[in-house]
Structure 1
Amino acid sequence: MERSFSIRLTSRRLVALTLALVVSSWAVAHERRVNTWLVCGAFESSCRAEFERDLIDEANVRPTPGVASCGKPWRYCDDRLYCRNLDDYVDLYTFFGKVRSGSPGEPTTMRAAYAHTYVWSPERQAIKLLIGSSDGYRLWVNGKLRHTAFHMTRLPFRDQDTVDARLEAGWNRLLLKIHNGLGIWGFYVKLAGQDGAPLEDIEYSIESPAGPLRIVTTELPKGYCRWPYVWLEIGGVVPEPRVPSASPYRLMAKGGTPPYRWTIPPANHLPPGIYLDGDQGEILGVCGNVAGEYAFTIQVSDAEGNATANTLSIAVKERPDRWFEEARIGGLIHGGAGYDPPHGDPELQAELMVREGYAWAAQTTAWHLVKETWDYYAGAEKDPGNAVAGRVPEQLSGHQDVSEYVKAFREHGIRFGSYVGLPDPWPTVFDPETKDYGNWPLFIHALHSHLEAMAVDYEPALLWLDGARGLYGGSQYWCFDALYSVVKTIAPECLLIPNSRDDYNVGDADIISWEGNNDTEAYWSRWPTGQSGLNPKPMPVETWRYPFPWKDWEGTVRMEYRKPGEPDYMDWEEWARVIVSLVAEGYVCDLDHSFSNGREQMHQKLGDWLFPRLDAIVGTYPGPLDDADWGYDVVRNDTIYLHIMKNARGKVGIEGKETITVGPVTGRIKRVALFPDGTTLAYESADGRVTISLAGVTPDPVSTIIAIEVLGTTESGGPLRTSDY
C-alpha cells in the first residue's frame, strides 16, 4: 500500500521542494520485530545453574497481566511508551532498573527475566526466530525448549542467532528468559519465514486469546513533529544488523476469531501525517508540524464480523532538536576537567560564549575512558577473570566532576552538554572476521555506565560522542540502541550526536556531526554537504571546527604536516566569516571553545564582533532571495539580513559597487538599514526586486550587514540544511 504526503518549502536553496515520503519506497527495509511483551522479574541469576532453574513452570505458563509467578507480577512492557529512541530493542535494563521513574526498581546485575507473548498463525508453518540478546537467553515455543545460549557479557545485535521453530495453526505461546551479567540488558526478536522476511498475516497479543473480542492496546507512544511515528526504515538499504531500523507500532487485540481488521470510524482522525494499515494493525506515517494531543476511536473486527472499539490518543510533541537547529552556534571543549593538567576557567568561558552567541557547550567528561580503558582491557593479555565475573572496574565507571562547568554555563543561559571522547583504535579490540570481541563488551558496558551517570547527574542537553562511527563494518559493535536507550529514558530531551558524517550507520542519532578540520587546514576544509536523504528522520547538520595554534601539536606527528610559513589558525576575522557562512548555508556551527595557547584572546575578539550582530545570525534561517555572488541572505521573523562578504566559498562581496539589487521580496518593505548601527539606506522597489543604495557604506572586514524590514512575517527559506534534495 502506497501512502505519501508533501511539504512544500519556498526556498532558493531547497527549490520549491516537494518532499514525498512514499512508504513503499522503504519496503525493502520494512521490519516487523516484536516490541510488546509481558515480562516477569527480576530473578537472581549469577551462574548457569541458576539461569536454567525453572521458576515459573516454563513449559506450561500462560501469563496474565498483574498475576504473579514465583512472587513477581507479569507486567506490560513496551519501552517505546517512555523512550523515544527509534529501535526494535527491548530494554530490560531501563524497564526494571531504578534509572526510570515508575519502574519496578529491581536490581539488574546478575539477574534474569521472562518475556512472553501469544502469536496467531493462519496455518501450521516452519519459521525462523531471529534473536539478539544481552546476555544469554532460553527460548520456548508452545512449551518446548528450542534453544539455550548462556553468556555473561554478550552485546546485543539484531539477528545474532537464528533458531528454527514451528508455529501451529491458531494461537501459539512464545517465551524467553533473558540473563544479564552486568550493564546492558535487553533483546531483539523477529519471526521470519524460511527466506528471512518478516511473517505476514500473523497476530500478536500479550493477553490470553480466550474469550470475546477485545482491544488490548490502551496506550500509544508519543510522536514528534516531522519525525516518523515510532518506525525507522532506511530507504534503499537492505536490512542488516548495522543499519538502524524500527518496526511500526502494532495494535493488539484478543479473543474472537482472527485475523483482525482495524479501522478508524468516520469523524475520527489520527494526527496529521499518520495513517493506519488496517490489515496489519500498524500505525505508519510521519507526524505533521503541529504539536498537540489527538484523541480518536479505533475499531477492530474479526473474521466472523464481531467488532469492538476503544478510544486512544497520540500526543505529538515538538521535536527535541528544534532548539539546536535554531541555536546555530555552540561548541565542544577539549580542555578543562577531562585533561591533565586541567586548564580553562568555566566562568570566563561562559562569559565569552554568551558574547559569541553560543547556545550550548559540551565539556569533556570521559577522558578516563580513553586513558585507562585500554590499559585495563585492550592489552596483549585478555582479562578472563573480569569477563567471567562480569564487572566493570570502579575507575572506568561514572565520569569526571564537571559540576563547575554545569553551574557556570547554566547560570549564563548556556545549555550544558557532554563531550565523550572515545578511543580511536577499536579495531584492535575485536575482530569482525573471527567474532573475537576480546574485552570489547566490557568497554561498551563501561561506556553505558558513563552515559547513564551523565544523564542522571546532569541531565545534559546533548551528548557528543567522538569516535562513535560505523567504520570497519562494525557499527553494530557499538550497540547504539542500548546506549541511546538509557540516555533517552533518563533525559528524554537529550540530543545524541555521534561524530559521523553518516545519517544511518550510527543508530537513531538526533544530529549529524561533520568533523571539519583536517591535519593541514582548519577554516574551510571538509565543508559539510548535508544529510543523504535515505533516512526519513530529518536531522540538522552540525560541523566541528577547531582553532588550533601549531603549538598544540608540538612533539606530535602532526607537526610533519605543517607547511613552511603556514600560520596558526587563530585569525578571529576568518573564523567570523566561517561562522556566518555556515549559518547562512543552513548548518549549525560547532566552533571549539578550548582554551590555552592564545585562544582566550581570539574568542574575546570574535565575541566583540559577533555580540552586536547576533540578531542577524542566531535564530536565523536561509533566506528567500535568489543566490548571488555578493554573499548570503538569512531571515528572522520579519527581517531579511543581507551578509555582504568575501569568503572561500565563492562569495566576492560588492567592492566598488554603488548599489545592490536583491529579490524576490514579497510584502511591503518597512525600512532598509545598515545593521547593527541602524543607518537608514535609500532604496527602490519594483516587481519584487529591491535596489539599495550603498552610498556612504564602509565595508565591514567580515560581513557588511543590511537589514530589510518587511511588514508581516517573512517567508523563510525552509528548515536548516537537513538534506541535499
Structure 2
Amino acid sequence: MTMQPWFADAKLGIFLHWGVYAVDGVAESWSFYGGDVPYDRYMAQLDRFTATDYDPDAWARLFARSGARYTVLTAKHHDGVALWDTRHSDLNVAERTPAGRDLLAPYTEAMRRQGLKVGLYFSHLDWSHPDYASLRHEDPTRPWMTDNPYTMPPQGQEDPERWERFLAFHRGQLSELVTGYEPDLLWFDGQWERTERQWRMRELREELLALKGDMILNGRMHGHGDYTTPEQGVPITPPDGPWELCYTLNNNWGHNPQDRDHKPVSLLVRTFAETIGGGGNLLLGVGPTAEGAITPEQASRLEGLGAWIRRNKDAVYGTVAGLPLGHHYGPSTLSKDRRTLYLHCVDGLRDFVAVRGLVNQVKRVTALATGEVLAHRTLGGFKEVPGVLLIEPPAETDRYVTVLAVELDGEAELYRGGGCG
C-alpha cells in the first residue's frame, strides 16, 4: 500500500469528538450501549444540540497555532447520528437538531483555508440502524460483543437480507462523504463487530479509492488500511510502518464538564516527543461543547504545545524516527538526510547529555531553541566499539523538553553490537 507522504511529515493531528453526547456530557455512544443511559434519554439530546457557537475558522486558527497539520472530525460515531444532511437517514443534525444544518462543509472549508489536511471519522457499525444487528459475528468466541441487542441478533435469528440492506446504507453514506467533502483521510472505527469477510473490506477499500485515489484510510479495516492507531499510551516498541497515537487531553474523548483532569502541557510535550521519536504521529483529542466551543482548558494546552513546537520545529517537521532505546536517555529524531540528530532531553540537564553507540564524528552541537554552541567530547571506546559522546548542557533549558541538535559528518551510523571481550 502506498502511503501519501504528507502523513509522515504532519506529526500532529487534532481528533475532534463532537456530537449530541456533548449536550449532557455523557460518553459518546457507549453510554447507552453499556446501559449507563437509556437509549431514549441519550437520543433526547438531539433536541438540545444547537451548535450556536460553532466557528470552524476559529477552530482552524487554533489548530494551526498548536502545530497540527491535519484534523479528524467525527462525521458519524457509533450512535449513528450524522453531522451532515445525509440522504440515507433522517438521523442527522440537519434534520433532527436545532443546529439545523450541515456541519461538515464549514469544517472542511475552514481547515483548508489554514492549510490543514481534512480527516473525517466514520464508524462502520451503527447501533441505531434497524438493519445493523441482523448478522452475528462469525467468531463464536466473542461473547462480549454478541450478547448485546445493539450488536447482534439472538442465535438463530440472523437475517442476511437485512445485513445486505445495511451494507448498502453503509456504502451510501461513505460515498456521500467522499464525493461531497473530498477528505484527505478517512478515519474508521467499529470494525470489530464483524469479520473482514462480512464487511467486505477489500472491496470497500477498492471502492473508496476509486472515488478518490489519494485518500488515506486508517488501519481499522481488518488489514486493508494504511496505518495503525494505538490509543492512550505511547507503544514501548513502535509499530512497524506508519502509525498514529490517539490521545485525549483529559480522560474523555467528547465534552464532559465533570472531567477536570486535563493533562499538563509538560506531559503533552513529552508524549509528543516520544511519539515522533518512534516514527509516529500524535492525534490529540479535543471535545467541543454542544454549542461548538472549545473550552479554555483545552485551548490553552493546544497553545502550549504549539509554542514548544515553534521553538523546536526543525526537530519536528521533516524528521524521521530517531535512535532506538538505549542510545540516549530520552526520545530523539533525525533529519530526513540523517545527518542531524535531535536529542529531546526530557529531564533536567544537570551534568552532561550522553549518547552511546554513535559511530559518526560530531561536527557541532547546538541548543536548538537558542542556537548556543555546546562543548562536546567522546570518551572511551575500544576497537570497533565507539566511545560515549558527552555534551555539556546549555545555559538556558526549556521548561518542558530541551532539544539539542547534533550535526554529524555523514548519515547517522550506530553500533548495535554486544561489545568486545
Could you say whether these structures have the same fold, taking a TM-score greater than 0.5 normalized by the shorter chain as the test?
Answer: yes
1:305-362 superposed Cα distances (whole Å, 9 cap, x missing partner):
xxxxxxxxxxxxxx22433123222132123899733355322322232233322111
- Give, in whole Å, the separation in 2 of the partners of 1:716 and 1:414: 36
Which deviates further from its counterpart, 352-361 or 364-373? 364-373
* Partner in structure 1 of residue 299 of structure 2: 600
- Give, in whole Å, the separation in 2 of the partners of 1:679 and 1:709: 13
* Partner in structure 2 of residue 448 of structure 1: 171
The answer to whether the 8 Å contact 1:337/1:365 transfers is no
- Give, in whole Å, the separation in 2 of the partners of 1:336 and 1:616: 36
If asked which structure has higher relative contact order (CA below 8 Å, sep 6+), I would say 2
- TM-superposed CA distance for 1:568, in Å, is 0.7
* Partner in structure 1 of residue 32 of structure 2: none
- TM-superposed CA distance for 1:690, in Å, is 5.6
- Give, in whole Å, the separation in 1 of the partners of 2:185 and 2:21: 17
* Partner in structure 1 of residue 180 of structure 2: 457
* Partner in structure 2 of residue 707 of structure 1: 405
* Selected match of 2:76 from 363, 366, 372: 366
* Selected match of 2:340 from 632, 639, 643: 639
* Partner in structure 1 of residue 314 of structure 2: 615
* Selected match of 2:136 from 410, 427, 431: 431
The answer to whether the 8 Å contact 2:81/2:91 transfers is no
- TM-superposed CA distance for 1:712, in Å, is 4.1
2:8 is equivalent to residue 325 of structure 1 = yes
1:305-344, aligned counterparts within 5 Å?
Answer: 319-335=2-18, 340-342=49-51, 344=54
- Give, in whole Å, the separation in 2 of the partners of 1:341 and 1:528: 42
2:250 is equivalent to residue 581 of structure 1 = no
The answer to whether the 8 Å contact 2:328/2:356 transfers is no
- TM-superposed CA distance for 1:585, in Å, is 2.3
* Selected match of 1:676 from 369, 372, 392: 369
- Give, in whole Å, the separation in 1 of the partners of 2:325 and 2:78: 50
- Give, in whole Å, the separation in 2 of the partners of 1:625 and 1:528: 11
* Selected match of 1:470 from 176, 192, 198: 192
Mark the CA change 1:372 to 1:461 in structure 2 (over 3 Å): closer, same or farther: closer
The answer to whether the 8 Å contact 1:368/1:396 transfers is no
- TM-superposed CA distance for 1:640, in Å, is 0.4
3-state secondary structure, aligned to 2:119: strand
3-state secondary structure, aligned to 2:71: strand
2:118 is equivalent to residue 416 of structure 1 = yes
- TM-superposed CA distance for 1:488, in Å, is 0.5
Which deviates further from its counterpart, 412-421 or 620-629? 620-629
* Partner in structure 2 of residue 510 of structure 1: 226
- Give, in whole Å, the separation in 2 of the partners of 1:514 and 1:587: 10
3-state secondary structure, aligned to 2:274: helix
1:70-149, aligned counterparts within 5 Å?
Answer: none
3-state secondary structure, aligned to 2:80: helix
- TM-superposed CA distance for 1:436, in Å, is 2.7
- TM-superposed CA distance for 1:363, in Å, is 2.0
The answer to whether the 8 Å contact 1:461/1:493 transfers is yes
The answer to whether the 8 Å contact 1:455/1:490 transfers is yes
The answer to whether the 8 Å contact 1:631/1:643 transfers is yes
3-state secondary structure, aligned to 1:365: strand
1:633-672, aligned counterparts within 5 Å?
Answer: 633-636=332-335, 637=337, 638-645=339-346, 653=347, 655-656=349-350, 658-672=351-365
3-state secondary structure, aligned to 1:413: coil
Which of the pair is proportionally richer in helix?
2
Mark the CA change 1:400 to 1:436 in structure 2 (over 3 Å): closer, same or farther: same
- TM-superposed CA distance for 1:367, in Å, is 5.2
* Partner in structure 1 of residue 210 of structure 2: 489
- TM-superposed CA distance for 1:512, in Å, is 1.4
- TM-superposed CA distance for 1:423, in Å, is 4.7
The answer to whether the 8 Å contact 1:344/1:594 transfers is no
The answer to whether the 8 Å contact 1:456/1:490 transfers is yes
Mark the CA change 1:368 to 1:507 in structure 2 (over 3 Å): closer, same or farther: closer
Unmatched runs of 5 consecutive residues or more in structure 2: 23-48, 95-100, 138-154, 289-293, 416-421
TM-score normalised by L of structure 2: 0.70
- Give, in whole Å, the separation in 2 of the partners of 1:496 and 1:489: 13
Mark the CA change 1:486 to 1:679 in structure 2 (over 3 Å): closer, same or farther: same
Letter in 1 for 2:342: Y
Mark the CA change 1:401 to 1:444 in structure 2 (over 3 Å): closer, same or farther: farther
Mark the CA change 1:462 to 1:353 in structure 2 (over 3 Å): closer, same or farther: same
The answer to whether the 8 Å contact 2:238/2:278 transfers is no
- TM-superposed CA distance for 1:677, in Å, is 1.0
- TM-superposed CA distance for 1:445, in Å, is 1.7
The answer to whether the 8 Å contact 2:357/2:414 transfers is no
* Partner in structure 1 of residue 62 of structure 2: 352
TM-score normalised by L of structure 1: 0.42
1:536-551, aligned counterparts within 5 Å?
Answer: 539-548=241-250
- TM-superposed CA distance for 1:365, in Å, is 2.0
- TM-superposed CA distance for 1:477, in Å, is 2.6
The answer to whether the 8 Å contact 1:338/1:366 transfers is no
The answer to whether the 8 Å contact 1:626/1:664 transfers is no
- TM-superposed CA distance for 1:494, in Å, is 0.7
Q: How many residues align?
A: 344
The answer to whether the 8 Å contact 2:81/2:92 transfers is no
Which protein has the larger Cα radius of gyration, Structure 1 or Structure 2? 1
The answer to whether the 8 Å contact 1:641/1:708 transfers is yes
Mark the CA change 1:626 to 1:594 in structure 2 (over 3 Å): closer, same or farther: closer
3-state secondary structure, aligned to 2:229: strand
The answer to whether the 8 Å contact 2:279/2:322 transfers is no
- Give, in whole Å, the separation in 2 of the partners of 1:454 and 1:397: 15
- Give, in whole Å, the separation in 1 of the partners of 2:126 and 2:91: 20
The answer to whether the 8 Å contact 1:352/1:607 transfers is no
3-state secondary structure, aligned to 1:631: coil
Letter in 1 for 2:174: L
- Give, in whole Å, the separation in 2 of the partners of 1:661 and 1:602: 31
Letter in 2 for 1:341: T
- TM-superposed CA distance for 1:664, in Å, is 3.4
Letter in 2 for 1:694: E
The answer to whether the 8 Å contact 1:624/1:715 transfers is no
3-state secondary structure, aligned to 2:399: coil
Root-mean-square deviation over aligned CA pairs = 3.7
- TM-superposed CA distance for 1:422, in Å, is 5.0
Letter in 1 for 2:5: R
Which of the pair is proportionally richer in strand?
1
2:109 is equivalent to residue 404 of structure 1 = no
